[in-house]
Structure 1
Amino acid sequence: MSPGPRGTAAKAEQRPVDPVRWPDVVRAPRVSRVRTALTAAVVRRALERLPLRVVLPGGRQLGLGGPLLELRDPEAFHGRIGAAGLIGFGESYLAGEWDAPDPVAVLTVLAGHVAGLVPRPLQRLRGLWAPHRPSAQRGTPEGARSNISRHYDLSNDLFRLFLDDTLTYSAALFRGFPAAWPQLAAAQHRKIDRLLDLAKVTEGSTVLEIGTGWGELALRAAERGARVTSLTLSAEQRDLALERIRAAGHAERVNVELLDYRRAEGVYDAVLSVEMIEAVGEEFWPVYFATLEARLAPGGRAVLQAITMPHARMLASRATYTWIHKYIFPGGLLPSVEAIEETTRAHTGLRVARRDGFGPHYAETLRLWRERFTERADEVEALGFDETFRRMWTFYLAYSEAGFRSGYLDVQQILLTKEDAPR
């Protein structure tokens, strides 16, 4: 067994890591030297074939050339990956054992080659070596409440620091690239308006929103003369959304409830849900879509905005516990377009009537958030979020941006109608 913790020299540039808040960052896992050596061989083989420039201590280099990845503590890096796969890869970044001047560029290369990073024989044994998700993160009513709270109840002030004035935490829709920060609020309204148009929300429409965010979609719908019931599991979001709704003079048109989607009642002309299905979990997709159907009035429309991934990768990774699950979004799974179509067909009378992908727009949205977060790092620190948190959040935003830049991820606006309804 090799000793831990390791990588102290590599972490000298960072402030000491809080061992209570970040136990798995402070202490590299204890992994046998044999396992570490095998992992190092697999990782080295993968890196040698990638368009990266990987610089090791002493100046040795791997890769075909491209974005720079500085591997500061190879033993700790390989040990973490050997113990926990991609969770270890992310924790190694938080520990300072590897770094990159442009992490988005490095992660984009990795995301673009993700299917071939692990040799096929090991991929077939994924169920044996890949960490599995904790049962506590299942999307049950209790689990969903805990999962949502861990992310969205961090601090409204934190989200205010890197989101635009609309407080919209989902992909924007730009007129062109590259996008600039002053364009973001208008791009968010453009996205919301297209969703409302798809749902045919007009004066007098009744709307159910599953997943409130901080209330901007409900406000835009109310401005059209609609009456909105919006559901959230985040107490922090609900409080701020209600404050914004009252300030806009729409308290009589918009009701925000702290309620699980499964407990929704009534029927509505339109049901909208923006980037919420990702948190539901595959096990509960049938219930989620059945709820959408049950809440629709005759002739009504359900409109989703969903982050999607390739179907084959979804099937291969759906039981895996990832760095994102552990540190950012507990529970859930990104669906594929095929999974949405198969689930609605098997469990509901809903059918996909239209879908529009705009993944590159999410990459730009994430870039603007990441740059804003970096610019306001001192203000994030003043809120009580330490350097490891800030490094984690930057990695999360970069990791997500890379997924869209590589084409591994997409984001879709999807119109669902009942099978016998006019489209």
Structure 2
Amino acid sequence: MPPPEQTPLRAERVVPRPAEGVWPGLQDPGENRLRMTIARGLLRAAVRRMPMRLVWPDGTTEGGGDATSPDMRLIRPEACFTRLGTEGLIGLGEGWMVGDWDSDDLVGVLRCFTDHIEDLVPRPLRKLRRLYDRGQPHEERAEDAVVSQENVHRHYDLSNDLFQLFLDPSMMYSAAWFSGPVDAEGQHAESLTTAQHRKVDGILDLAGVREGSRVLEIGTGWGEAAIRAARRGARVTTLTLSIEQAELARERAERAGVSDRITIDVRDYRDAVGEYDSIISIEMIEAVGERYWPEYFRTVDRLLAPGGRFGLQAITMPHHRMQATKASYTWIHKYIFPGGIIPSVEAIEQTLARHTTMHVDDRRSLGPDYGETLHRWRDTFLAREPEVRALGFDETFVRMWDFYLAYCEAGFVSRYLDDWQFGITR
């Protein structure tokens, strides 16, 4: 599809609009010989400490790996190193998007970087990070909810058809919960849909959802959790900021025969009213933003009936890494989830203790299962690439989503990231 005129979110900043083929500044890495030279030296030194190889255009290799290790093939080395030197790890992702480098084992390459994230850059040079990490953009808006809705729109309103291409029939866009034996490659035999239903049921159990329960869901997705709660005999109010998600969720609830028990509102969680026996939220807190965590949990505390329970599923990272990177502007922020921040378990518990009457009394980790979930999503996405292109998405978008899914899979497989289900009560 031809790209439309580039309309800025604010007058001084043009943002990527992937669904429309708008990639401001992506094709030109600029020229900066000094930064290119520094980045080349740092990457070559880092690769020597990792079980991977750099492969130069002439076929020569270097690094700490061997022929069985993942290869990072340099197609346009100068452009690749210029991006790294100018934009840091944002430049690594952008280099993949435009084909400055390639790999037959993208997850393997990214896992090497993730496993060695603490020592990619020598400690004396880490202070130079501020030269390329300019921090999160600040939206000068009177309404926080407006910014939240725009952030949601940039990802979840890409296209319902796109998500239907690679998600399983449950349309759950979060970690599944697998069970049973695994094969030689560590993959489970059961279907992704079965594992997703187990995950949803686990959250409903932690929230105490049963027949007659008044349930609030913060973050509708495409309606599967609300549908399964309604099938238990609960009455569900579910909130989303995505108009496209709300429309499909209503259709799915109607097809499931439970639309009379589900109310789907396009509304910010801060505007929710009423009293609920159970509240659930599945991987929505990552989009809330650190400064809004107290308000998010206070809202749950305000809406929860006496004796009620809150079932929360959240992606997490180690607390020290969260503290070190929470102000950073990353590739994920720029291209996938603007405005997001992944909390730590400690941050969740501390926020509950300081700002609410609630505490965690049950928990389980689904981190390793998220690695397999992402692996299955990526396999399906790549297998259906012609259909993705038929929806109007271009080559850069396809490579961007390939990188996104591989990047996330590497994070969970390496245990840099985790995913928790929490049972929370007063």
Secondary structure at the counterpart of residue 88 of structure 1? helix
The match for 1:264 among 263, 272, 277 is: 272
Matched, 1:329 2:329: no
The match for 2:251 among 234, 243, 259 is: 243
Q: TM-score, normalized by length of structure 2?
A: 0.91
**Offset of residue 355 of structure 1:** 1.6
Amino acid at match of 2:52: L
Q: 1:171 and 1:322 mapped to 2: Cα distance? A: 22
Secondary structure at the counterpart of residue 279 of structure 2? strand
**Offset of residue 19 of structure 1:** 11
Matched, 1:234 2:237: no
**Offset of residue 250 of structure 1:** 1.1
Q: Is the 1:84–1:131 contact (alpha carbons within 8 Å) kept by the matching residues of 2?
A: no
The residue correspondences of 1:88-237 to structure 2 (distance < 5 A) are 88-136=91-139, 140-176=144-180, 177=182, 178-179=186-187, 183-237=191-245
Matched, 1:80 2:95: no
Q: Is the 2:210–2:233 contact (alpha carbons within 8 Å) kept by the matching residues of 1?
A: yes
Aligned-pair identity (%)? 54
The aligned residue for residue 26 of structure 1 is 27
Secondary structure at the counterpart of residue 26 of structure 1? coil
Query: Deviations for 1:35-78, whole angstroms, at most 9, x for unmatched residues?
Result: 22122222221111111011112233221112111112221111
**Offset of residue 32 of structure 1:** 2.2
1:203–1:328 distance in 2 versus 1, CA, 3 Å: same
The aligned residue for residue 37 of structure 2 is 37
Secondary structure at the counterpart of residue 222 of structure 2? coil
The aligned residue for residue 62 of structure 1 is 62
The aligned residue for residue 53 of structure 2 is 53
1:18–1:348 distance in 2 versus 1, CA, 3 Å: closer
Secondary structure at the counterpart of residue 25 of structure 2? helix
Secondary structure at the counterpart of residue 333 of structure 1? coil
Q: Is the 2:114–2:410 contact (alpha carbons within 8 Å) kept by the matching residues of 1?
A: yes
Q: Is the 1:24–1:91 contact (alpha carbons within 8 Å) kept by the matching residues of 2?
A: no
Q: 1:260 and 1:83 mapped to 2: Cα distance? A: 37
Amino acid at match of 1:22: W
The aligned residue for residue 392 of structure 2 is 384
Q: 1:19 and 1:191 mapped to 2: Cα distance? A: 34
Q: Is the 1:173–1:187 contact (alpha carbons within 8 Å) kept by the matching residues of 2?
A: yes
1:182–1:375 distance in 2 versus 1, CA, 3 Å: farther
Amino acid at match of 2:39: T
1:313–1:214 distance in 2 versus 1, CA, 3 Å: same
Secondary structure at the counterpart of residue 269 of structure 1? strand
The aligned residue for residue 309 of structure 2 is 301
**Offset of residue 31 of structure 1:** 3.7
Q: TM-score, normalized by length of structure 1?
A: 0.91
Amino acid at match of 1:71: L
Unaligned 5+ segments in structure 1 are 1-16, 419-423
Unaligned 5+ segments in structure 2 are 1-17
Q: Is the 2:19–2:158 contact (alpha carbons within 8 Å) kept by the matching residues of 1?
A: no
Q: 2:424 and 2:21 mapped to 1: Cα distance? A: 46
Q: Is the 1:18–1:26 contact (alpha carbons within 8 Å) kept by the matching residues of 2?
A: no
Amino acid at match of 1:224: R
Q: Is the 1:131–1:322 contact (alpha carbons within 8 Å) kept by the matching residues of 2?
A: no
Q: Is the 2:19–2:393 contact (alpha carbons within 8 Å) kept by the matching residues of 1?
A: no
Amino acid at match of 1:264: A
The aligned residue for residue 327 of structure 2 is 319
**Offset of residue 186 of structure 1:** 0.7
Q: Is the 2:21–2:394 contact (alpha carbons within 8 Å) kept by the matching residues of 1?
A: no
Moved more, 229-238 or 127-136: 127-136
The aligned residue for residue 417 of structure 1 is 425
Q: 1:183 and 1:368 mapped to 2: Cα distance? A: 10
Secondary structure at the counterpart of residue 87 of structure 1? helix
Amino acid at match of 2:125: L
